[in-house]
């Protein structure tokens, strides 16, 4: 008498729990695997006395054009260090990763533009470079940003070129 009751309980309770578990796994899947690490690096940047430079009256597209290939490229390189890459093999094939890859349609300039729209809607109000940098890093949490090997990154870049070369 006890056994079937216990067995029934065992079957019914995971079934009742399942929807919540399923929802949790969906949430985890949509959050970038590097999110916790990014949160820590943002906290580090807030603690430093760097990036106090203030910017004002600059259109977003000009800011993106002037700072993408220097400040923000270096930021990604110094945030996701060689030591960090060593701990995170290629997201596609598992080989040692060497590249920091922004997903298709989530390239660096687009993430900077998204960050600017969020934290600096009114360019007549001065903003500290630090706030833009933190917002830019934050944007990565909802993207497919990944660490990959050279071959897999090249494959991704080739896809991008094909997409932009195709008509429409």
Q: DSSP string covering the chain, please?
A: -HHHHHHHHHHHHHHHHHHHHHHHHHHHHHS-TTHHHHHHHHHHHHHSS----EE-S--HHHHHHHHIIIIIHHHHHHHS-HHHHHHS--TTT-SPP-EEEPPTT--HHHHHHHHHHHH-S-TTS-EEHHHHHHHHHHHGGGS--EEE-HHHHHHHHHHHHHHHHS--
Contact call for residue 147 and Zn ion (CB under 5 A): no
- 149 binds Zn ion per the rule CB under 5 A: yes
Nearer to Zn ion, 32 or 68 (CB): 32
Site stretch for Zn ion (CB under 5 A), options 35-43, 88-96, 114-122, 136-144 = 88-96
93 binding Zn ion? (CB under 5 A): yes
Nearest CB to Zn ion, comparing residues 15 and 82: 82
Can residue 146 be called a binding residue for Zn ion (CB under 5 A)? Answer: no
The count of residues interacting with Zn ion (CB under 5 A) is: 6
Contacts with Zn ion, residue ranges (CB under 5 A): 90, 92-93, 95, 149, 152
């Amino acid at each position: 008498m006890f056994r079937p009751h216990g067995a029934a309980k065992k079957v019914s309770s995971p079934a009742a729990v399942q929807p919540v578990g399923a929802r949790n796994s969906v949430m985890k899947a949509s959050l970038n695997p590097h999110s916790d690490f990014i949160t820590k690096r943002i906290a580090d940047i807030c603690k430093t006395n760097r990036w106090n430079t203030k910017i004002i009256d600059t259109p977003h597209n000009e800011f993106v054009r002037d700072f993408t290939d220097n400040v923000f490229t270096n930021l990604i390189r110094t945030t996701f260090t060689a030591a960090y890459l060593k701990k995170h093999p290629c997201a596609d094939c598992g080989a040692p990763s060497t590249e920091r890859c922004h997903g298709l349609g989530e390239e660096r300039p687009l993430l900077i533009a998204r960050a600017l729209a969020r934290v600096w809607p009114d360019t007549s109000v001065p903003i500290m470079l630090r706030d833009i940098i933190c917002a830019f890093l934050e944007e990565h949490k909802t993207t497919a940003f990944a660490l990959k090997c050279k071959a897999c990154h090249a494959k991704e870049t080739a896809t991008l070129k094909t997409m932009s070369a195709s008509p429409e």
